[in-house]
Structure 1
Amino acid sequence: MRIKEVADRLNMTTRTIRLYEEKGLLTPAKSRTNRYREFTEQDVWRIQAILSLREAGMNLADIGGALAHWEKSGAEELRHSLELQRASLMEQWLELKMVIETTEGMIATLDEEKTLPLERIFGLAEQSRRMKRQRGKWTDKWGFDRLASTHDERVNARLDGYEDYEELLGRIVECVKPAGGEHGLDIGTGTGNLAAGFLEAGCRMSGVDQSKEMLKLCRSKHPALETKVGNFLALPYLEKQFDFVVTSFAFRHLTSDQQPLALEEMLRVLKPGGRLCIGDKLGEDEQRLVLWLVKRNFRTRVHRVNDTLRMITATQSEETDDARP
């Protein structure tokens, strides 16, 4: 096929096809007789793939990488590229949502006071900037992709701070009191060991983790568990999706500045009247986390697992779930 035929077939312009060639995304053969481009069905398939990934919001450079991974390693690598794109779009959506809320706050202040007090407006703007900075700082500085293949061995051997591992996971399931048919979210799910307890109780479970290799192992162990690439600061779900949200041996990796933003994200995806459970070595952060939850109308309880390991369980009041201090 010639370039005009391909453009007509796919309802696009020849200029766009040439752009894909310039960026190295296409390399159609040229006729030996007249040097015209000759497009094969494989070229058409590749153009369709590019168009589809563009609709998912990818830029051309990322599409080039995704296609290279796809052709080299198959659907698993393409899936990961799309998951990273979804995570990026979720971060952008959360930032836009925050900008809208900041603007709404300014309008409400103006309507109430007939002016814009600089101190209050600056406070709203600074909060927005702080949250944006924290999301932008998120990186996998722990190397969980590298550790994934030995993760279950290490936790079973109680290495790397995983003392009383199975006891904590069992107590989280016990305290959440899952009911069959409920939908739960496990953040930092790793290879799915905590989520498995809720699956056995008849729950529908979703798991979020930043590590591609952890999630790959998780899917092989627990095919019924929905997995998504993401992190505490930008959960890849819309509002009020889950009956309960749990996490184990993961919250301690957050800084003191990141923890309130993570709690806001957990609250955002939780249904009214939902439950939270955080199990970890919380140290000095324990009381601060409890106070944060109490101020947002959660009934909380702290459980002692050992000298350093704690579990915070919290249930939200349905009728006042939108209240803020």
Structure 2
Amino acid sequence: MVEHDALSATRDAYDAAAATYAQLFRDELRDRPLDRAMLGAFAEVVRAGGGGQVADLGCGPGHVTAHLRELGLTVFGMDASPSMIELAREAHPGLPFDVGSMTAVDVADGGLAGVLARWSVIHTPPPELPAVVAEFGRVLAPGGHLLIGFSATDGASHPTQEFDHAVAPAYRWAPGHLAALLRASGLAEVARMVREPQPTDRRQFQEVHLLARKA
């Protein structure tokens, strides 16, 4: 029931904010060279492994999904918010987008070469995060890669911290804690990027990208 309530509340909140969110974040990658670098590295390792289908889970209005396609990946987007998916389809008609949950991705075991979860897990209640990470591991093929982005806690002694998010309740995660969950699901960390908060950032949190590979 906790998962259902949290998912429903998050979906409803993003449905209500979808148009504003899409406008605010449409060009966000333009001013984020480090994010573009990590997305580029992700695309390169997926292609080097032979390519295959990639999922952008929690894709929102689809701008990052479209960027992955520009980087040469065969990609689809999935989001819990029907309004977000509607906007993504309108903005990027050549890409497939579907409504769905990260806890039950409609893909066969080992069916994906890559998974992107960029700020997708921040609304996941802490007791539910292991199941979400396990689902990432399930859908990835051996040798497949996961790139996960999230806001970091203030220290290793705080595995998770709730923070005030404009749309829905959200959580920050200790990078070591999240890396341990990845290992438990058969995903070995390959690289980590930590971006320090900048004066122009809305929130003064560290942002972390973890790149992991399924053994």
TM-score of the pair, normalised by structure 2: 0.74
2:8 alignment partner, SS class = coil
| Residue 150 (str. 1) matches residue 20 (str. 2) | yes
TM-score of the pair, normalised by structure 1: 0.51
Higher relative contact order (CA 8 A, sep 6+): 2
| Residue 172 (str. 1) matches residue 61 (str. 2) | no
Gaps of 5+ in 1: 1-132, 318-325
Partner of 1:305: 195
8 Å CA contact retained: 1:273, 1:316: yes
Identity across the alignment (%): 23
For 1:1-325, list aligned pairs within 5 A: 133=1, 135-142=3-10, 143-155=13-25, 166-167=32-33, 169-176=35-42, 177=44, 178-179=46-47, 181-283=51-153, 284=159, 285=173, 286-300=175-189, 301-307=191-197, 308-317=206-215
CA gap 1:138/1:185 in 2 versus in 1, 3 angstroms = same
CA-CA distance at 1:304 after TM superposition: 0.6
| Structure showing the higher helix proportion among its residues | 1
Tell me how far apart the structure 2 counterparts of residues 141 and 235 of structure 1 sit (CA, whole Å): 19
What is the CA deviation profile of residues 254-310 of structure 1, one whole-angstrom value per residue up to 9, with x for unaligned ones?
A: 111111110011111111111011112132332111012234443313211224111
Q: Name segments (4+ residues, structure 1) moved above 6 Å.
A: none
Gaps of 5+ in 2: 154-158, 160-172, 198-205
What is the CA deviation profile of residues 69-98 of structure 1, one whole-angstrom value per residue up to 9, with x for unaligned ones?
A: xxxxxxxxxxxxxxxxxxxxxxxxxxxxxx
CA-CA distance at 1:230 after TM superposition: 0.9
8 Å CA contact retained: 1:243, 1:270: yes
| Structure showing the higher strand proportion among its residues | 2
Which protein has the larger Cα radius of gyration, Structure 1 or Structure 2? 1
Tell me how far apart the structure 2 counterparts of residues 213 and 168 of structure 1 sit (CA, whole Å): 29
What is the CA deviation profile of residues 37-64 of structure 1, one whole-angstrom value per residue up to 9, with x for unaligned ones?
A: xxxxxxxxxxxxxxxxxxxxxxxxxxxx
Q: How well do the aligned residues superpose, as a CA RMSD in angstroms?
A: 2.4
What is the CA deviation profile of residues 118-168 of structure 1, one whole-angstrom value per residue up to 9, with x for unaligned ones?
A: xxxxxxxxxxxxxxx55444433231111111113223697xxxx997445
